[in-house]
């Protein structure tokens, strides 16, 4: 039984190939993840790129949670900012995007990710605000004072403002 677990040169070569496969893509695609803002075609695209960079930075900083010793809490501490980042980026698609199919997908992303965030919070015993407005809709006056903000970005917009 232990014989199959003994490393051989074939195992070492396979391990090196796996490491290379995972190491090269981040370097090869690093430039693609953040396009050069100097080539932005319009003020609107520049605004989109700037806001998207801010959303990505916020998400990555939020995902860098310190371990608490509780795997479930650590998982949610990293996943909730990840899901919130998806929401923030979907809001930007609604604000700046023109493709109706992508705008519908962005709306679905927002709903799905909000539901998953709520489910994760409930799973670890945190409370969830039931009356939080959709992030792209204006908050009712009473709920606006008590509802938590889903993002630092201005997401409480009317549909006309998103176009």
Give the pLDDT confidence of 141-161 residue by residue, as tens digits. 544 444 444 444 434 444 444
User: Which domain range does residue 82 map to?
Assistant: 41-162
Tell whether 146 is covered by a domain. yes
**Separation CA 150–CA 81 (nearest Å):** 10
- Domains identified in the chain, total number: 1
Tell whether 61 is covered by a domain. yes
The tens digit of pLDDT for each residue in 85-144 reads 999 999 999 999 999 999 999 999 999 999 999 999 999 999 987 655 555 555 455 444
Tell whether 59 is covered by a domain. yes
Give strand ranges (E) for 11-147.
none
Q: Which two tokens stand for residue 33?
A: 């993840």
DSSP string, 77-108: HHHHHHHHHHHHHHHHHHHH---HHHHHHHHH
Helix axes of 71-96 and 100-123: crossing angle, nearest 10 degrees:
160
Tell whether 21 is covered by a domain. no
Tell whether 141 is covered by a domain. yes
Tell whether 6 is covered by a domain. no
The tens digit of pLDDT for each residue in 7-59 reads 666 655 665 565 565 555 554 444 455 555 555 468 999 999 999 999 999 99
Tell whether 35 is covered by a domain. no
Tell whether 118 is covered by a domain. yes
Give pTM, 2 decimals. Answer: 0.58
**Contact (Cβ atoms closer than 8 angstroms) between residue 50 and residue 37:** yes
């Amino acid at each position: 039984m232990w014989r199959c677990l003994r490393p051989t040169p074939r195992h070492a070569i396979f391990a090196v190939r796996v490491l290379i496969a995972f190491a090269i893509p981040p370097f090869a695609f690093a430039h693609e993840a953040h396009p050069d803002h100097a080539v932005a075609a319009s003020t609107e695209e520049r605004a989109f790129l700037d806001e998207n960079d801010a959303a990505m930075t916020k998400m990555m900083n939020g995902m860098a949670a310190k371990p608490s010793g509780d795997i479930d809490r650590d998982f949610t501490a990293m996943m909730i900012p990840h899901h919130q980042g998806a929401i923030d980026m979907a809001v930007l698609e609604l604000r700046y995007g023109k493709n109706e199919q992508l705008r519908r997908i962005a709306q679905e992303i927002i709903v799905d990710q909000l539901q998953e965030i709520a489910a994760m919070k409930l799973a670890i015993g945190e409370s969830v605000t039931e009356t939080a407005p959709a992030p792209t809709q204006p908050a009712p006056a009473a709920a606006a004072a008590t509802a938590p903000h889903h993002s630092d970005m201005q997401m409480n917009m009317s549909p006309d403002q998103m176009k």
